[in-house]
Amino acid sequence: MPRTLTEKIIAAHLVSGEMTPGDAIALRIDQTLTQDATGTMAYLQFEAIGLDRVQAELSVSYVDHNTLQTGFENADDHRYLQSVAAKHGVYFSRPGNGICHQVHLERFGVPGKTLLGSDSHTPTGGGIGMLSIGAGGLDVAAAMAGEPFHLNMPQVIGVRLTGKLTGWASAKDVILELLRRLSVKGGVGKVFEYFGPGVGTLSVPERATITNMGAELGATSSVFPSDDVTRGFLTAQQRPDDWSELLADEGARYAEVIELDLSAIVPMVAQPHMPDEVVPVTELEGLAVDQVCIGSCTNSSLKDLMTVAAILRGRTVHERTSLVISPGSRQVEEMIARNGALADLLAAGARVLEPACGPCIGMGQSPPSGGVSVRTFNRNFIGRSGTADAGIYLTSPEIAAAVAIFGEFIDPSGRIELPSIELPPVFAVDDSMIIAPTQDASGVEVVRGPNIQPLPIRGELPESFEATVLLKVGDNITTDDIMPAGAKILPLRSNIPAISQFVFAGIDPEFASRAEATQPGIVLGGGNYGQGSSREHAALAPMHLGIQAVLAESFARIHKANLVNFGILPLEIAPEGYAALEQGAVLRFEGVRGAVASGQPIPATVLETGATIALTCDLSEREREIVLAGGRLNHIRARHAQ
């Protein structure tokens, strides 16, 4: 039977389960990546598993998030990450070498391989035909230990591309158009596979932009075929032997096919405060802009920055607008320095930052109070920029450059000539900032600074308990809402007691103290609870605060898995049950372990009224075992002890 490309990769890596959409499957993982905001905890978890060396084919530790060193904490984490990588057989990409997804695409990604990363934008690797999936750090630690990755078999949605991008339309507009059509919930439980004659018109960086922001659809992953364009990219990276052709079989059937004519795509903008609030740029013309930020793992490739430099050449950034640019990798930074593009950026008035995530993760460059910031990033959640009342707009590098020149939103068609960019056939390759693991690590000492605290572990799930609804929130709560990032909070990622004080801080500053005083607790949410970043701290810190269960109308995939991994019950509640409960309600749970073990609904009694609310515990058999054990580390240890 003909198969899609996604199905072919899954079939080649299937450890258990049937490839029926919705059924539980387990995949062998070839490669893993971590970044420093999630990596410190992931390696503490790997150490807790007790293996000497990683078991995956390739594991890479990147430092790209917490590079702003305002105290000792980040530097200490980097030192720990470098030493633990050397100890356990992990490649280490040093601070300044670039953003994990950009560097992995350039230097390590291989078509047809599986990649699991502790960052939600890991699907960037789908731009070269990998099946790349974001997950929580504990899942990645388990994959490094040789454990398979468990998920439900996704539906494979075909996106048939025809035509060719014209004018100022870009790859960013392709994914913004899909977000406009499908919403941030539209990809849950799905892989988006691109095919059709339009695919060959897109470069690998353009494909990677699309797969990167597929995460904003809630998708498990996104993937392009590996074709002659892919071969050209890997040849330019001086890795031609890593290429192989990978295509869907002729006649492959998709669960659904979305038709997208690239020639009909127009420049788009995602308005505050969600990536799916998308309109054509023409609807925003004249809106004054205070800041423009170009970069992030979505749009910081050599092609992106050379295009921006060519648009800015001979022009000056508007007097009311600040322009900052973050190259995606040291390779990109070096190449624009050598070909003159960097000089054009500086001459135009751009402020060039180091190759890192920077403003995208809230590490500096917060816009002014009430300001308008135009960014080529992937997320514009409220407060993520570091300024709660700022309006964050997402668009392409081309439109962002034009906005920087005029100081306001414009449709540049007919006003600026769009430059044509030709990339060199061979890229500069210098891997000196990537430290390969030593074969003999017997003399390597793992260095731990004072901010690195022991990993908290939860006990087994109790048979019965009473818990208070400590907070009621609405739909589309993000992991940024649950566990904020930014320059003040990110340095505490390896100190769970300290970082837990900021849980839900942007929504309710008293949440942490209330949770500590009222244990166990419950959080009540609406639909798509936990969307956004893969940050497992959004489960780990609430666990530390005594959260026993989260009741929500529906959950985002990665966050639900993280709740399970840390022994927090993810329980689905019907809309009428959600409406009937308020903050402060106390619920009594009886027979919990038996209900979880058998997959039966869990009744909860509201003590004040005596009403019973039925809650669904929609978990696989394996996930039920993990929750009963109090989390995945307990589950792994118990199996290894047998």
Catalytic residue numbers read 64-65, 119, 379, 533, 535
Contacts of residue 344, defined as CB under 8 A and 6 or more positions apart, other chains included, come to 309, 310, 312, 313
- In three state form, how does the secondary structure of 511-523 look? HHHHHHHCCCEEE
Q: What is the DSSP letter of 600?
A: -
**What are the φ and ψ backbone dihedral angles of 395, each rounded to 5 degrees?**
-155, -175
Which residues have CB under 8 Å from 108's CB, separation 6+? 31, 58, 60, 91
* Dihedral over alpha carbons 327, 328, 331, 336 (to 10 degrees): -30
> Helices 397-406 & 302-312, crossing angle to 10 degrees?
30
Q: Using an 8 Å Cβ cutoff, are 470 and 514 in contact?
A: yes
Nearest to 142 by CA among 641, 642, 547, 639: 639
Q: Which of 348, 192, 118, 383 is nearest to 273 (CA)?
A: 383
Contacts of 579 (CB under 8 A, 6+ apart): none
Contact (Cβ atoms closer than 8 angstroms) between residue 336 and residue 328:
no
Q: What would the DSSP string read from start to end of 456-509?
A: P---PPPSSEEEEEEEE--TT-BHHHHS--STTTGGGTT-HHHHGGGTTTTT-T
362: left (phi over 0), alpha (psi -120 to 50) or beta: left
Q: What's the CA angle centered on 49, arms 45 and 53, to 5 degrees?
A: 95
User: Strand 547-552 and strand 521-525: pairing?
Assistant: parallel
- In DSSP notation, 47-83 reads HHHT-SS--SSEEEEE--SS---SSHHHHHHHHHHHH
| DSSP state letter for 283 | G
Rounded Cα distance, 201 and 228, in Å: 11
Closest CA to 307 of 428, 425, 417, 174: 417
Helix (H, G, I), strand (E, B) or coil at 555: strand
Amino acid at 369: S
Residues with Cβ within 8 Å of 616's Cβ and at least 6 positions away in sequence, in order, are 571, 572, 573, 601, 602
Give residue 631's region: left, alpha or beta (phi > 0; psi -120 to 50).
left
- Give the closest residue to 350 by CA, choosing from 358, 338, 340, 342: 342
Residue 608 DSSP one-character state: T
